[in-house]
Amino acid sequence: MTDARIAKLHGRRVWDSRGRPTVEVEVHLADGATGRAIAPAGASTGQGEALDLRDGGSRFGGLDVQRAVGSVNREIAPALAGRDAGDQEAVDRLLVNLDGTPDRSRLGGNAIVATSMAVLHATAASAGLPLWQHLAGGRPVRIPLPEIQIFGGGAHADRRVDVQDFMVVCPAARSFSEALDWTAEIYRAAGTLMRKAGKAQGVADEGGFWPAFDSNEEALEMLTLAIESAGFEPSSQVGISLDVAASQFGSGGQYTLALDDRTLGTEALIDMLGGWIEQYPILSVEDPVGEDDHEGMMEFTRRYGRRCQVIGDDYLVTNAKRVEAAATSGAANAVLVKPNQAGTVTESFQALCAGKDAGFGTIVSARSGESEDVTIAHLSVGWDAGQLKVGSFTRSERMAKWNEVLRIEESLGESAEFSGWSAFTFAGAEPSATKP
Ligand SMILES: O=C(O)[C@@H](CO)OP(=O)(O)O
Ligand SMILES: [Mg+2]
């Protein structure tokens, strides 16, 4: 007999991939099952996100992550003792109410999300199931299309280029494992091209190359060239996915490009991005304008949302209500799902479901500050998100997730279904945007 009541819950301070402290939570159930999870942390965070308590974060005025660990051990642990871990919604509701603030700033978003995810792991362990399978509950799932960073920029590379993530997607691959094979070839080809051109400077926060490019266009040129020189056909086999993360270089409809010291209004920024969509094999664009620029999101989606995935990240902050509003106003056609942005597993799932109900693409995503925690790999499969964004292909906190999906794919054997092009079935998409 399983007994999924929470017997013990413990928080501790561990370190993330940027060498900053974060929160780990360990849950023990009455039947002996355990679960463990580590909170990730963003650098380019949206205004509406759950707030972490962490060391040295300029936004948090020196508040210490030790306080978040204290929240777990002194307040959350006694409040959850004896509760049924299997009722994730009730656990998450209790966490939200216990905190009592709209932004989770009292107990700390990091304390809450790590607890929520650790409870989820313990429940799956109690049921004797891999986490993804526990989440799927018998419903059909697809192995997600990976979005993998080749060049870093923006807040992750000291603004060397304005765009934060230059990624590739391989929707024509036949499996997740093949998509990783292709990406490895492209990553190496990009490295060779950069070294030849004297443009390789190091490694950005998520493990992509830190480029010495002189323009965003130079990055797009070289990425397209890398796809070709690795032997793939741009667009029909491999596409480019961009996270513009425009809030990092503009607000109030004014955007200042670092490289040529130009300030663009919303229209001019959209024209510039539109020019890139015309010229390069771009299949997906995230946060094309600032998080406060609703009109800009609507305009960009109206103009390009039939041929290109338009993702809201900072704009939607994994919030179901915002997703519903964006669907109504036509201000995106896809949603990034980051558990620590929403605050709990339940709220993340609600945002994903709101996206699916609206016909949006759904992408489970890591943060720029990560760890060996692989929860999101399981969420992406178990929730049938279709896409998973984790960063690059070279750092172990990223590889931990990619390798976990490989294990899941292998465990499914012949029955594994890779999402491939079906990942881009966003509402209103032209056939050419969803088929090779
Ligand atoms: O903006 C994003 O999508 C993420 C990952 O690239 O970055 P951060 O975790 O810094 O918000
Ligand atoms: Mg983003």
The rounded mean pLDDT for the chain is: 93
- The CA 7 to ligand 1 mean position distance, Å, reads 35
Q: Count other C-beta atoms under 10 Å from residue 347's C-beta.
A: 23
Name the percent of the chain lying above pLDDT 90.
Answer: 82
CB 284 within 8 A of CB 241: yes
Residue 159: the pLDDT is 79
Q: Choose the residue to mutate in 54, 110, 243 for probing ligand 1, maximizing ligand atoms within 8 Å of C-beta.
A: 243
Rg of the chain on CA atoms, in Å:
21
Q: Which pLDDT score, from 0 to 100, does residue 166 have?
A: 96
Rounded to whole angstroms, the Cα distance separating 389 from 334 reads: 13
Q: For tokens 């390069």, name the residue.
A: 280
Residue 200 pLDDT: 82
Of 115-119, 145-149, 152-156, 183-187, the range with the lowest mean pLDDT is 152-156
ipTM of this predicted structure: 0.98
Closest ligand 1 atom, residue 368 Cα: 9
For residue 104 and ligand 1, the question of a CB distance below 6 A is answered with no
Cβ–ligand 1 contact at 45 (below 6 Å): yes
Task: Calculate the dihedral angle through the C-alpha atoms of 60, 62, 68, 70, rounding to the nearest 10 degrees.
Answer: -150
Average pLDDT over residues 95-103: 96
* Span from the CA of 74 to the centroid of ligand 1 (angstroms): 31
Q: Give the pLDDT band of residue 434 (cuts 50, 70, 90).
A: low
Nearest to 39 by CA among 17, 7, 56, 62: 17
Closest CA to 23 of 60, 53, 3, 56: 53
pLDDT above 90 for 130: yes
Q: What is the mean pLDDT of residues 119-125?
A: 98
Tally of residues, the chain? 436
What pLDDT score does 60 carry?
44
338 assigned to active site: yes
CA distance 205 to 215: 19
The angle that helices 294-304 and 266-279 make with each other, rounded to 10 degrees, is 30
pLDDT-derived band at 301 (thresholds 50, 70, 90) equals very high
User: Rounded to an integer, what distance in angstroms lies between the CA atom of residue 267 and that of residue 273?
Assistant: 10
Q: Which residues contact 61 (CB under 8 A, 6 or more apart)?
A: none
Q: Residue 63 pLDDT more than 90?
A: no
Q: Which is catalytic among the residues 24, 185, 206, 299? A: 206
**Which stretch of DSSP H or E encloses residue 17?**
none
C-alpha 3/C-alpha 112 separation (Å) is: 23
Q: Using a 6 Å cutoff on CB, does residue 367 contact ligand 1?
A: yes
Q: Does residue 435 surpass a pLDDT of 60? A: no
Q: Kindly state the average pLDDT of the residues 308-312.
A: 97
First to last CA, the chain: 51
Active site residue 404: no
Q: What is the pLDDT of residue 155?
A: 79
Q: How many C-beta atoms lie closer than 10 Å to residue 201's C-beta?
A: 15
Kind and range of the H or E run holding 266: helix 266-279
- Whether residue 319 is predicted with pLDDT greater than 90 in this model: the reply is yes
- Tell me which ligand sits closest to the C-alpha of residue 388: 1
Ligand 1 centroid to 383 CA: how many Å?
21
Report yes or no: 163 and 244 within 8 Å, Cβ to Cβ. yes
Q: For residue 155, which atom of ligand 1 is closest to its CA?
A: 10
Q: Residue 428 pLDDT > 60, yes or no?
A: no
* Ligand 1 contact, 365 CB (< 6 A): yes
Phi/psi region, residue 35 (left: phi>0; alpha: psi -120 to 50; beta: rest), is beta
Q: Which listed residue (199, 291, 338, 347) is catalytic?
A: 338
* Closest ligand by atom to 206 CA: 1
Binding-site annotation: residue ranges for Mg(2+): 243, 286, 313
Q: Which atom in ligand 1 lies closest to the alpha carbon of residue 42?
A: 9
Residue type at 216?
N
Asked whether residue 58 carries a pLDDT value surpassing 60, the answer given is no
Tokens read off for 355:
């996206």
Reply yes or no on whether the pLDDT at 253 is more than 70: yes
Percent of the chain with pLDDT over 70: 95
Strand order across the 250-251 sheet:
250-251, 254-257, 262-265
Quote the ligand 1 centre to 350 CA distance (angstroms). 20
Distance 299 CA to ligand 2 centre (A): 19
Distance CA 168, CA 179 (A): 10
Say what the pTM is: 0.96
Q: Is 423 helix (H, G, I), strand (E, B) or coil?
A: helix
Q: Is the CB of 18 under 6 A from ligand 1?
A: no
Task: Using the predicted structure, report yes or no on whether residue 59 has a pLDDT greater than 80.
Answer: no
The answer, yes or no, to whether any atom of ligand 1 lies below 6 A from the CB of 313, is yes
pLDDT score at 61: 38
Residue nearest to atom 1 of ligand 1 (CA): 44
